[in-house]
Every structure is written in C-alpha cells, then in structure tokens.
Structure 1
Amino acid sequence: MKNWNYILPAMAAGGEQVLQKLNDHGYDAYFVGGCVRDELMQRTVTDMDITTSATPDQVITLFPDSIPTGLQHGTVTVRSGGHHYEVTTFRTESGYEDYRRPTEVHFVDRVEEDLKRRDFTMNAIARNVKGELLDPFHGQEDIKLGLVKCVGIAEDRFEEDALRIMRGVRFASVFNFDLDSDTWAGMLRQRDKLGYIAMERVRTEMDKMMAGPFPSKGVQLLMDSRLTEYVKSPISFITMDRKWVTYLDKLPQNAVYRYEMVLLLLQIRSTDANTLLREWTFSGETRDRITKMLAFHEEILASLEALNLQDQSNETNGHYSALRTNWISLVLHLGIEAAQDWLTINNQLLKEEGIFSSAYNEHCPLLLREADSWTKEMGVYQVKDLELGGADLLRETGRKGGPWLGRTMKILLHEVALGHIPNVHDDLLQAAKKVIEDEI
C-alpha cells in the first residue's frame, strides 16, 4: 500500500491490486477523482475510482467476475479484496443532452485528455500505483488555496452538465472553500440551465450540503446566486436574514434539522411545505417529519400569542400550567419526534431576539427549560400505551364499537399524560365509564 493514510488498508490494497494488474498487462491506470482529493485533504476516503487506457472489454477479460455497470460510458465494476472499484476507460465526451448527459463518448489513449472533461481541478488529479500524482490543472494548489475552480472554461463545464453548478456550491460549503471568481461568474451565466436538471439530482446535492459541517456557507451562496430560483421547483432564500442562517452550523450534523430550520426562517407553513417537499422529491417519511415539526411550531406560536391575551390571576403559575398542558397535547397530537426536533432547533433560534414574536421571546425560555421533563413525565404517548385497551372497554361496557370508542380512548390518553388519571386498568375503566355517561 503506497502511503494511503485516510482509507481502510484493505480497500487501498485491493485498489492497488487492480491498478497493478492493469499495468502488468500493458495498460495505463490511475486512481482519480474524490479518493485522490480526499486523501490530499486528509479526509476519510470511502471509495476509489480508477481510470485506465484499457477498454471495457479488455477490463472484463482481465477481471472475469467484474460487473458491466456502465459500458456505454466505459465503466466496469471490478471486485478485488472484498471491495468494488469502478474502472472507466479514458474518454472524452460531447453532444450533451439537456445540459446533463453526453450523447457521444469517445475512448482515448491519454489520461490527460480524460482529466480535461472533469468538473473541478480538485477532482482532476490522477494517482498511479506508486503514489505519484498527475495534476495538469493544478488541483493541489487550488486545494491548498481553498478554491473550487473549474477545469478549463467554467461556462463550458456548466453548459455540459448544469448539475455541476450545484456540486460547486456543495463542495464550497462542505469543504469551507471559496469559489474561484471565473467559476462563480460561470455559475451565474449558466444558472438558467438548472431548469433542465431533475429535482432529485438537485436535492441530492442539497442533502450533502445540508449534512455537511458548514451548511450556512452553502445557503449564503444560494442566497447570493439565487440558484434555487432557477430549478424545476423554485424556491427563494433571499428573504432570510444572514445572522439567523449562521445558526444552521450549530445544529446536529443532520440534513433534516437544517431543512427544518431553513423552512422556519422562510416562515413557510406546514401545508405549503408539504407540497414543496414533494416537488423536491423528498421521501414520504422525511416530508412527514418536517411538516409535523412545522405544524408543531405553528401551534406553539398560536398558543403563546393566546397566552399573552389571557388575564390570569396568578400569571406565573397560570402560564406554567397552560404551557405544560398545551405542550403535552401537542406531543400526543404530532409525536415525540416533532417535539424533539422543535426543541433542538429553537434552542438555537431563541438566542436571536425578535426572530418570531414578543410572545415567543417571553415564554419560550420557560418552555425550552421544562419541555423535556414534561415529555418524560407523560409516560404514555399513544393509545396502545394505556393499560386499558379498546377491546377491554367494549367487553366491560357491552357496547358496540363506533366513533365513541376512539374519542374515549383519546380522552383517557390525554388525562393520563397530564397526570390526572393513573395508568391503571381499573382507574381507566372508571374514568371511561364517566366519559361515556357524560356523552349520553
């Protein structure tokens, strides 16, 4: 293994075996792209791509158990040492369709020609089996300078593949790099091409950016460039205040939290967010989580405003009791995950006064201080947590099922969560009978 320090030794050894075998049969072969870049940047290397002068057929001949994953683009997946490596023939591309996919691929003999087609200089560095680097576009220098810079003419690179515009922003954000001035200008001139790119591909770049260590940098670049206003399902970030955007970096390194905060800062309502997230191809699970947190926030704000309007004889105790009751009701209605997400985000946002309302600033400190304890004290969160089941209630009362059953069970759940009734079968049964009597 030739001086790989940021990769599993077995993966590096398996990749070098592939390169060595190609070399032994007279073919040029190099590691290329992200693995070389990340090693130079002292970042964990998670996979290794290989480029070679061997054609796909020649690669398959050398590695009979390989997988022909992308023959039209010259790519074969080779197995070695328990790992998989994408091996792609040196190539040039032309005739790009919809500013994304090349219609023509030509195999070439020299790695320098292959490197010319790549997006950014940091990704256009090749490394041979001896550990020697081939860097015709000075990618190492740009890495040291902290620059995202296009290979060749930026406008050409983005016209070939407009998704590279979002990739450039993502790299700048994740690596905390600056965008080269020509690269930035090329992005702005070609941003209208983003309308041709599938939203799923745009979202994937956003996901990686939002899950990175410096999402605020990426969001600020999107604010300055207005790139997201040109995608198939546009959204504008320019209304956000930059001082609030910086709090994104302080959240746990999870894309969902960051998306939730952005939507809060944009003051997008839960119903509108659901439509937007669907258009952006988020999964149903992620949409549900984000929209429930937004709905939770809307209910909290409404309850705090109502609290300010109430004339309570004992304001401190009255506020505490009202906040606790409302919190528990929301946890039962929208779930613990929505509550925990809201707490995580608002523990950051409350530090910025005036972000929502005077009622928010007045009451949220108490809410944030006590809510975790209130949630734990509930003890029950779903009807199934009760010691009295619906079937038990039907049997004990001799009544037929109907809407009354669901209503009664929800009342019991709420009363137990508030601590008004113990979660004991007989106590629940007596309380249920009283609820039924009151309804008759």
Structure 2
Amino acid sequence: MKISLPQNIIAIISKINNCGYEAFLVGGCVRDLIMERNPNDWDIATNASTNAIKAIFTRTYNTGLKHGTVTAIYNGIKAEITTYRKEAMYSDHRRPDFVIFTDTLTDDLSRRDFTVNSMAYHPEKGLTDPFNGLDDIKEGVIRCVGNPEKRFSEDALRMLRAIRFSAQLGFKIEDKTFSAIKKYWSDLYYVSVERIQSELNKILVSKEPQKLYLLWKSGLSQVIFPDIKELNDEWINYAKYFSDHGNKKTILLSLLFLSAFKDMAKYYYKKLLKKLKYDNKTIRSVGLLISCIEDLIIFSDRNLRKAVTEYGEEVAKNTIEIKTVCSKFTNAYRSFIIDRIGKDIVPLKADISGLDLINAGLCSGPGIKEMLLILMHCIYEKTEVNNFDILMSIAKSVAKSQISISDKP
C-alpha cells in the first residue's frame, strides 16, 4: 500500500534513518491517512533513544522522557517521536508503572489499544500491519489488540476511547471488545474526570454523536452520568439530526438533561456539568439553551423578541430548530422563522433606565428590576412603545396601581 505523505514528514523520517536508526509513522495518523482523513498529530516510533533524537534535531522539547517521547520541530512541522517500548504492569488502571524499551517495531505496536491504531508506515518499506488493522478499517470494526480484557484492565480509559472511535469513524465495536467493556466498566472510576470529559466531548462533536447511547448499553454511564438511568430514543433522534450542527455539543448536552429530567433540568444540569469539571462558559451556554427551550413555547413576534433579547440570537435560533425538528412544522417554516432572527426580530433595549425611574421617584431597590421587566414585556408586545416618554408614562401608571412593584430596599 502506498500512502501520500507530506514532504516534511518524509524529511523527518529520512533524517532519523540517515543516522542509522529505524523510524515509522505509527498510530492514529496512519489510520487517518488510510481513511483519507487529515491527521491531527504526527507520531513516529523509532529504535533511537531520546538522547539520540535530541542530537539529530536542533529544535526539540521533552514531551515525556520517562516514556521515551520527545517532540521535534523540523521544516515547520511538529512530530512526537517515541522510542520503541513495551509496557509493564498498570497498577492504577491508567498508566504503566514503568516502560521497557525494545528493539522491535512489532513489540511497540503490540502494546497499543486497537488494531486500527496499531499500524506503522514507512515511505519506502510501506505498511506494517501485524494485527490486521487494515482489514478492520475495511470492515469498519473497532477491535482490541490481543485480549480485550487485558487491554481494558491495563488502561480503563480505552473503554471510553473505543466508543469515541466508533462515533468518530462510524465503526462498530467488535463483540468480544464490547463484552469486555461491559465486564470492566467500573474500572472507569480510576480515570480522572478531566480525561473522561475530554472523551465525552469528542463523542458529542463526532460524526455519529448518537453513539453516546453505548455508554448506557455498556454500563459506563454509571460512572459518567449516574443520575441518568437511560438514554431515550428522542435524544438519539436529535443527535442524528444535529450531527452536522456547529453548536452540537451545547445542544446535545442541553437535550440530554431535558430528556432525562424534564422540567427539573434547570436544577440538575449545573450540578452534573460541574461534577464533570466543565468550564463556566459551557455551563452558562447549556443553562441559557435549557431556559430558552422551556420559555419559548409559541413562535409569536412577542415571544421571539423576548427570546433574542434575553438569551441571544444564536440561542433563539438553536431553540427554534430543536422545537421544530421533531414536530409537524415543515423545513420551509423552520427556515422562515430562523431567517427572521437578526432581521425583523432583533434584541431590544429599553429607552429608559433604572436611574431614570429612581429620579422620577417611581421605585427603588428590587422594585427597579421589576418595573424594568414590566416595561420590557410591553416593548416585546409592541416595539413602538419603546420611547422614553411613553415608557415613563407606563411606569407612572404601574407605580400608581402598585402592580407587583416592591419598593423595599
């Protein structure tokens, strides 16, 4: 098999070879090249030591000397270069206690997680595939290298990676491999929350985010989402629909909580996302979308104005798409409503401020916020009332009637 490689990658391999050492592209970049995908990273395995690699390349930095890895930058490209190694016991179910450097490429490939990631390529020698990864790519299968129970007991994160690769590549998980996940799912407790969140995000933004259901089928959900007992068909249908959406991580997380907790989603989402150590931006985005979905019931002009003002245009558009995808509304109607956002439906700002209300002696304290809220609802109903004099007149009438306005400090 001949694979087209970037010239600067060929140059890195040649430079190592010219110094008397072996060097092969390995792992995910080989898989991606075979599948005509653009690799995210370039990994090279070699029988050269880290000291030898640092002597060959002038620009290097230590990525993981303990595990034999140095990153080299050459001709404008970065590659992680690792000495051939075997791994010893994994007493913490995550990382090897120590590594044993070896002289053979096959030993190095044998320690890897899945057959599709256990191939090597050299621009002159071609493909090295001792575990039939190429066949599994052709058949669309995720299969462990060797005994899957041993692979997962070594590194529990591999179970979640199997589902992630299934979602990213559109592959099925081989039966023995999946059975081992069902047997060892509880070992995922040994993995850090940060690594779990990273894999979860990759599933959510993948080609087939509906593969998230495998967390429940395998038992892994008991570690990641213990409060969510099942993933319903409605969420799976949403995941298929939004698989190409630019904001699908936020959308699918929001729908996950709404499908699981219904009206209580607003009380659960923050707790669960914080437990998974999501950043504040993601938590806020999910919260806004959940609130907008619950708030926007009928697509009247008044409600649409309120949605774009209080939640933002993007959140309003996402909400409309969510609410129309599994309903009687046509694609044309959905597009018509969404196209209005940012055109005749725009965020509004009252032409009066809290300070104006205070100076007029109409309210104070919490009553200011309540009065502004009433005025905004008037503006949502009729945008033509968004005029200082008109709003002041409305505020005086409200204050006079004492409708739900608190003047307590």
TM over 0.5: yes
Say if 2:190 is the partner of 1:196: yes
Letter of the aligned partner of 2:350 in structure 1? L
The worse-fitting range, judged by mean Cα deviation, of 265-274 and 152-161 is 265-274
Conserved? CA contact 2:26–2:45, under 8 Å: yes
Q: Deviations over 1:330-357 (max 9, x none)?
A: 5544444443332222222326xxxxxx
RMSD over equivalenced CA pairs, Å: 3.0
Task: Tell me by how many angstroms 1:50 deviates.
Answer: 1.0
Task: Tell me by how many angstroms 1:146 deviates.
Answer: 0.7
Pick from 277, 282, 285: which aligns with 1:286? 282
Conserved? CA contact 2:305–2:346, under 8 Å: no
Aligned to 1:250: 241
Pick from 330, 351, 356: which aligns with 1:387? 351
Conserved? CA contact 2:308–2:347, under 8 Å: no
Aligned to 2:220: 227
Say if 2:372 is the partner of 1:409: yes
Say if 2:382 is the partner of 1:419: yes
The worse-fitting range, judged by mean Cα deviation, of 71-80 and 118-127 is 71-80
Aligned to 2:269: 273
Pick from 304, 321, 341: which aligns with 1:344? 321
Conserved? CA contact 2:3–2:34, under 8 Å: no
Task: Tell me by how many angstroms 1:235 deviates.
Answer: 4.4
Q: Deviations over 1:302-344 (max 9, x none)?
A: x78xxxxxxxxxxxxxxx8xx6545554554444444333222
Aligned to 2:4: 4
Conserved? CA contact 1:147–1:179, under 8 Å: yes
Closer/same/farther in 2, CA of residues 400 and 181 from structure 1, 3 Å limit: closer
Q: 1:172-191 counterparts in 2 under 5 A?
A: 172-191=166-185
Q: Deviations over 1:391-419 (max 9, x none)?
A: 45556x37896434333333333322221
Closer/same/farther in 2, CA of residues 152 and 160 from structure 1, 3 Å limit: same
Conserved? CA contact 2:90–2:96, under 8 Å: yes
Between the aligned partners of 2:338 and 2:104, the Cα distance in structure 1 is 63
Q: 1:146-225 counterparts in 2 under 5 A?
A: 146-216=140-210, 218-225=211-218
Task: Tell me by how many angstroms 1:171 deviates.
Answer: 1.0
SS in 1 for 2:207: coil
Q: Percent identity over the alignment?
A: 31
Conserved? CA contact 1:125–1:134, under 8 Å: yes
Between the aligned partners of 1:325 and 1:56, the Cα distance in structure 2 is 66
Matched residue count: 395
Letter of the aligned partner of 2:232 in structure 1? M
Letter of the aligned partner of 1:350 in structure 2? S
Q: Deviations over 1:271-310 (max 9, x none)?
A: 112211111222212122222322333445xx78xxxxxx
Between the aligned partners of 1:41 and 1:138, the Cα distance in structure 2 is 15
Aligned to 1:9: none
Conserved? CA contact 1:380–1:386, under 8 Å: no
Conserved? CA contact 2:320–2:334, under 8 Å: no
Letter of the aligned partner of 2:251 in structure 1? Y
Closer/same/farther in 2, CA of residues 424 and 30 from structure 1, 3 Å limit: same
Q: 1:351-362 counterparts in 2 under 5 A?
A: none
Unpaired runs of 5+ in structure 2? none
Letter of the aligned partner of 2:4 in structure 1? W
Letter of the aligned partner of 1:416 in structure 2? I
Between the aligned partners of 2:96 and 2:196, the Cα distance in structure 1 is 18
Letter of the aligned partner of 2:87 in structure 1? E
Letter of the aligned partner of 2:198 in structure 1? T
Conserved? CA contact 1:233–1:280, under 8 Å: no
Letter of the aligned partner of 1:223 in structure 2? W
Structure 1 length-normalised TM: 0.80
Between the aligned partners of 1:371 and 1:27, the Cα distance in structure 2 is 60
Say if 2:201 is the partner of 1:238: no
Between the aligned partners of 1:20 and 1:199, the Cα distance in structure 2 is 40
Unpaired runs of 5+ in structure 1? 6-11, 305-319, 352-360
Conserved? CA contact 1:33–1:125, under 8 Å: yes
Q: Deviations over 1:49-71 (max 9, x none)?
A: 11111111111111132011211
Between the aligned partners of 1:65 and 1:234, the Cα distance in structure 2 is 46
Conserved? CA contact 1:48–1:85, under 8 Å: yes
The worse-fitting range, judged by mean Cα deviation, of 418-427 and 326-335 is 326-335
Say if 2:98 is the partner of 1:104: yes
